[in-house]
Structure 1
Amino acid sequence: MSLSREMCDARAREAADAAAQATLANVRDRELRSEAAWRAMSDRIRDTEKAREKRDAERAASRAVETATH
């Protein structure tokens, strides 16, 4: 299964809500750790998407230069 930023963000929100509703400290801490992990996964996906977009743009520019010079 492939993770999406939307799914990771949704899980992070769910964990944050569960942490806010928790009455036990250990449950709240667990949910806060879960939220942090989901947010970190979302951030990594975003960074990967941005890097891919930059790489694709650089390749397209390189191809345009090659085409123009030939």
Structure 2
Amino acid sequence: MAASSDNYREQAERCEAEAAAADLTLVRERNLRSAAAWHALANRQFKSEQARAVKEQLADAVRAQGLG
């Protein structure tokens, strides 16, 4: 399965839920750190997805004008 920002966000949400349910401080902190890492990956992937969409739109526009 290809990585997507939605997949990363789901992982982050799962870590946040596990953190909320944790009785031990160390487990809660570990899950919160994991959630932060997943959110960072999701944000990076989202930016990449947006850039790819813009690139594809430009390529389609060039093809439509018969330039490519």
Q: Provide TM-score, normalisation by structure 1.
A: 0.78
Q: Percent identity?
A: 36
Segments of structure 2 that go 5 or more residues without pairing to the other structure are: none
Is the helix fraction higher in 1 or 2?
1
Q: Provide TM-score, normalisation by structure 2.
A: 0.80
CA distance in 2: counterparts of 1:4 and 1:52, whole angstroms: 13
CA distance in 2: counterparts of 1:48 and 1:11, whole angstroms: 18
8 Å contact kept, 2:4–2:46 = no
Larger Rg: 1
Matched, 1:22 2:22: yes
CA distance in 2: counterparts of 1:53 and 1:7, whole angstroms: 18
